[in-house]
Amino acid sequence: MQVGIVSYGSYVPKNRKKVDEKFRSKLMVEQRSVASSDEDAATIAVAAAQNALSKTNLCEKKIGAVYIGSESHPYAVKPTSTIVADALNLDSDFMTADVEFACKGGTAAIQICYGFLKARMVEYGLAIGSDVAQAEPGDVLEQTAAAGGAAFILGVDEDEIIATIDETISITSNTPDFWRRNLQKYPEHTNRFTGEPSYFKHTICASKKIMEKTGFCPKDFSYVVFHQPNGKFPLIAAKRLGFTKEQVEPSLMVKKIGNCYSASSLLGLCSVLDVAQAGEKILLVSYGSGSGSDAFVLTKRVLTKTGVKK
């Protein structure tokens, strides 16, 4: 049974703040999105999900699983997912929970829904990555910390699927490069762990493992999407793996909106799905501090079912 993306939607707050000039070339980020005072991870998730639903005639009450990845959930004890489900007018018989794994919570949510669909436990699943990124004032992270969300409706009807999920794997380790303890307002990070033993190790290892498992190599993919803490890291990872700049550039939303944490790689995927043609393959590899990467191989398809909006 083939599981795939039936629809997707995104939401990024309209406010922008320019990155300080001394950091622009170093980070390869021009500006970042800023949430308004009445916006948080829940409202952003709702907007992204509504945009996904607006592209299809799917009845929202058929969604049987809702999982939201974020590291800025509005409540420490109160699910964001129930707020979102209520706003979307879902029935009460759905499975749900909030997911937290730093910046890969959104892709973890996709994997959960993927598993439920493979097990035939639900008809449709809704996976969302949404964040209002946190950074201590004056910290270099503040230059890229942004707000945004991306939502994906997953299903198994071949006539509805616009992109198949052909394979997914994960790489995980206890590498403490970034953390925020309970009641701590801002996260901390260890600069020396951020790059090589964290982002690059997990991203590159997950990419190699899924290509080995599927038998694909870099030239088989039209697009590659990585987590985007800045504009440089994805390009470095791509080069080390043998991908070209042209394969990764269409996904680099970070340059214009900053690092949206759990939504970062997913917003990159939305950008790629907007331009990918039928038959083209996409490699998606997220990264979450703490640390781990989720990797996916997807294939874009033509939407054919009558009555479903293109």
The residue with tokens 């995927």 is 269
Cα separation, 279 vs 301, in Å, equals 6
The CA angle 18-69-287, to the nearest 5 degrees, is: 70
The residue with tokens 């309209």 is 14
Task: Tell me if 100 sits within 8 A of 55, measured CB to CB.
Answer: no
227 is annotated as an active-site residue: yes
Active-site residue identified among 39, 73, 103, 260: 103
CA Rg, the chain, in Å?
18
Cα separation, 200 vs 198, in Å, equals 6
Q: Phi/psi at 149 (nearest 5 deg)?
A: -150, 155
Active-site residue identified among 39, 71, 142, 160: 71
189 is annotated as an active-site residue: no
Active-site residue identified among 142, 189, 227, 270: 227
202 is annotated as an active-site residue: no
Cα separation, 73 vs 127, in Å, equals 15
Cα separation, 112 vs 127, in Å, equals 8
Catalytic residue ranges: 71, 103, 227
